[in-house]
Amino acid sequence: MPAPGITGRIRPTKVKKQQNTQKRKRDDVDVEKLEQAVAALDPKNGSYKDFTDLPLSDPTKQGLKSCHFAVMTDIQAKAIPLALQGHDILGAAKTGSGKTLAFVIPVLENLYRLQHVGVDAGLGALIISPTRELAIQIFDVLYKLGKHGHMFAAGLVIGGKSLQAEREALTRMNILVGTPGRILQHLSQTVAFNVDDLKMLVLDEADRILDMGFQRDVDAIIDYLPKERQTLLFSATQSRKLSDLARLSLSEPEYVSVHAEADSATPKSLQQNYIVCPLQEKLDILWSFIQASKKSKILVFFSSAKQVRFVYESFRHMQPGIPLLHIHGRQKQGARLETTHKFSAAKHSCLFATDVAARGLDFPAVDFVIQVDCPEDVDTYIHRVGRTARYNRDGRGVLFLTPSEEEGMLKKLEAKKVPIELINVREKKRKSIKEQVTHMCFKDPQLKYLAQKAFVTYVKSIYLQKDKEIFKLKEYDLEEYSASLGLPGAPRIKFLKGDDSKARKQASRDAIEVSGSEDEEEDEDEKKKAKAKAGVRTKYDRMFERQNQDILADHYKKLVQHEDADGTDEPTNGKEPTEDAPMPDADDDFLSVKRRIPADDDIPEAEEALEASTRNQKVVHLDGAKNPIIIDSNRREKLLKSKKKLLKLKDKGKKLVFDEDGNAHEIYELEDEEDFRAKGLPEEQRKRFLEQAREVVAEADVEDKAAAKAKKKEKMRKRKEKERAEMEGDGMGVEIEGGEDALANFLADADASDREEWSDDGEEEEEEEERGEQKRQKKWFEEESDEETATAKRRKKVKASRDVERAQPKTLEDLEELAAGLLG
Ligand code: ADP
Ligand code: MG
């Protein structure tokens, strides 16, 4: 098996060039012969039984042989000859009947005969699957079958890898298997991805791919593909909607339906049963069932990822004695892959799954498929149950139905030729786990949270089910169900309000409120929608939405109500006035403008204050503040107590100068006009002022220059001294250094303990030692108690002291300072 990476070449690893050319020659002959043989096929004859009866290329024959496929299944015998001849095909055959080979063989063969191979050939066949797991499985079959001599480059595009990495490989591919979303992403974003020469399009689980969920992606993909191509559709349940066929532009498709005439839509070797049990007993029965079948491989389906998670987590805690696994669409790709591998390989295991595992997956030897939550329709039922009893093996399916679902579902199953029988659960074997689950939820808030989510999503899923003949929300006992999940009461769900809210209100007075939109994704979607609806929101909108913060909001609300009342804005949306939100009093406010505020200006604060006082809000007049402060919240009330904060509300102060008598003057005071004139003409006055200023500047300049000169001199002197010291050091060399080192070592030893304590960046210290720097000496200002002071502080101090020490022998000032210190 190839690593489940993005690409895999299905050619043998090392093919010598010589062999290659020889092979090519043989291929040419091969292809011609094959072409003739295929043309001579009579697909409707039905006489082909074994793969050897068909004109297939040597590499394909080899592949089939190595996989031990000899006899064809019905669908293969019917579909392959037609597909080899290039017909479009609508293939329907039961689950596990070998549909994969029915399209993989024609893909390999038709491209082989066309010699659609190599980098330049571009993409020849595109195989689309609804899930990543199924795409991987198809790729696996393609790989195993094609690796015995086919030269195609085949790839897998399912996301979960970097787009760029896929991109590079993609352009070389001849056959691609992928999921709709990722394929579309590449078609629209990868420039070099050439599909103009595509010969074949295959949709596995076609009905799923063509349904609503994938519609947009698939339509967009098809737009990129050439119209002239062969299209193959396969599924266990096949709709023949004309609209779908038109979408795919099928030309005269051949319907190959193997079970249309059969008396059942499901494999014969599949035993199907259902049990009827109320919602609240489902978990008990499931647990009891698993306990009774520990030596089997069980696949259990639920309706949502939340259900899966809750049951998985709670059962895991209860140690069921069989390995539990879970898979759902919310998991990371890696986890999903690992789970499928584990479950495939396991002998005894129980996998809890959503419908991501319902389609196409070929887990070997599954004994039971349990459907705990009723599937949305019969097709889903068939696909789920089809994970067992594959290719002539035995298998059992058990469907759990609540009493209210029984009638509707049975009718539908019967109509689609699904033979199913009622069975009862032996009371002796039944064990109640309700108490245990309740206890776990009580102890573990996370589990309780999962239970709440599981409850909400389940109820929502019932609510959203299309088939109301089966799913009748009112018939389920939700209180009991929530209790069976270990919850103290049924979480309230918003969308139920409309139904019979009075009864519910009564029932769940003390229920925990769980937001109706539990689902993060849905939540986001809803938010987005709401946003889109709301249109463009301005800064003012946001400001006014913030309620109870300032009076502006109230004020705006009034204005808006005016608008509402006179119908200029969105009025009441046709809603009836309710108690909570009475209609604005139309008579009162009708077209009467009470105040008008210019859109861009803030409301004058004085007016605000006026309004506030009429509103019984406290207004405080502060000394030093021009405008009064409105106290409309506790926060503001508190603000009054802080002088520092109040400063901000006061007006900015002025700088004053005081004369000799202590009188305050402003810095610049205007003199009398008369005084001014008395001093002479303005021009002269200016000149005089300039001269005075020049004198002041000149004086200051002399001082500054002298200071700068002194500084420079000092610097020079220090440099020379340093140079001299260095020269002297050179001359005396080793001896002194050694002496200093000895001292340094001693000092280091003396206060090593001290140092260790503060030196947490030891490396740095070591380096310094290596540089032969002087060691630290305990200073006069360091007392023993200093050891207890904070490390950082100490390091700083010590560093500073060292600096002093290092400078010690160098300048006079330093010596003086040290001496003073010692004396001190
Ligand atoms: P489907 O897609 O119809 O559900 P698959 O193609 O997954 O079924 O095949 C179901 C199983 O049958 C696979 O494990 C496959 O290996 C096996 N199988 C298919 N065709 C043959 C065959 N001709 N002979 C033996 N086993 C086969
Ligand atoms: Mg299949």
Distance 202 CA to ligand 2 centre (A): 12
Entry pTM? 0.61
Confidence at residue 309, expressed as pLDDT on a 0 to 100 scale: 96
Dihedral sign of CA atoms 803, 804, 810, 811 in order = positive
Any atom of ligand 1 within 6 Å of the Cβ of 55: no
Rounded distance between C-alpha atoms, residue 406 and residue 385, angstroms: 17
Cα(102)–Cα(100) distance, integer angstroms: 5
Does the pLDDT value for residue 333 go beyond 70?
yes
Any idea which of 95-99, 386-390, 411-415, 712-716 has the lowest mean pLDDT? 712-716
CB atoms within 10 A of CB 97: 22
Lowest mean pLDDT among 281-290, 334-343, 805-814: 805-814
Q: Which of 67, 362, 383 has most ligand 1 atoms within 8 Å of its beta carbon, as the pocket-test mutant?
A: 362
CATH 3.40.50.300 residue ranges of the chain are: 27-257, 277-483
- Ligand 1 atom with the smallest distance to the CA of 72 is 23
Atom of ligand 1 nearest to the CA of 95: 4
Q: Give residue 51 CA to ligand 1 midpoint distance, Å.
A: 14
**Residue 391 CB–ligand 1 contact under 6 Å:** yes
Please give the angle made by the CA atoms of 52, 56 and 58, to the nearest 5 degrees: 95
User: Which of the pair, 668 or 432, is modelled with greater confidence?
Assistant: 432
Beta strands at 297-301 and 324-327: parallel, antiparallel or unpaired:
unpaired
pLDDT at 808 over 60: no
Backbone angles phi, psi at 272, to 5 degrees: -115, 130
Residue whose Cα lies nearest atom 21 of ligand 1: it is 98
Q: Is 238 in the pocket of ligand 1 (CB under 6 A)?
A: no
The helix (H) or strand (E) run that includes residue 203 is strand 200-204
Task: Give the pLDDT confidence of 679-721 residue by residue, as tens digits.
Answer: 888 888 899 999 999 999 999 999 999 999 999 899 888 888 8
Q: What is the mean pLDDT of residues 489-515?
A: 54
Distances (CA, A) of 380 to 360, 377, 414: 11, 6, 14
Q: Is 388 in the pocket of ligand 1 (CB under 6 A)?
A: no
Provide the 3-class DSSP secondary structure of residue 558: helix
Q: Tell me the CA–centroid distance for residue 334 and ligand 1, in Å.
A: 26
Question: What pLDDT shows up at residue 813?
Answer: 52
Cα of 362 vs centre of ligand 1, distance in Å, is 8
Please tell me if the CB atom of residue 556 comes closer than 6 angstroms to any atom of ligand 1.
no
- Measuring from atom 23 of ligand 1, which residue has the nearest CA? 72
Q: Is domain 27-257 annotated with CATH 3.40.50.300?
A: yes
Q: How far is the CA of 133 from the centre of ligand 2 (A)?
A: 11
Does ligand 1 have an atom closer than 6 angstroms to the CB of 362? yes
Query: Using only C-alpha atoms, what is the Rg of the chain?
Result: 43
> What's the confidence (pLDDT) of residue 646?
76
Q: Return the structure tokens found at 309.
A: 């998670």
Task: Please tell me the residue having the least CA distance from ligand 1 atom 4.
Answer: 96
- Ranking 107-111, 709-713, 723-727 by mean pLDDT, the lowest is 723-727
> Ligand 1 mean position to 228 CA, how many Å?
30
Q: What is the mean pLDDT of the chain?
A: 76
Q: Which CATH class is domain 277-483?
A: alpha beta
User: What 8-state DSSP symbol labels residue 119?
Assistant: G
The residue whose CA is least distant from atom 15 of ligand 1 is 98
Atom nearest to 234 CA in ligand 1: 2
In this prediction, residue 385 has a pLDDT band, given cuts at 50, 70 and 90, of very high
Share of the chain above pLDDT 70, in %: 69
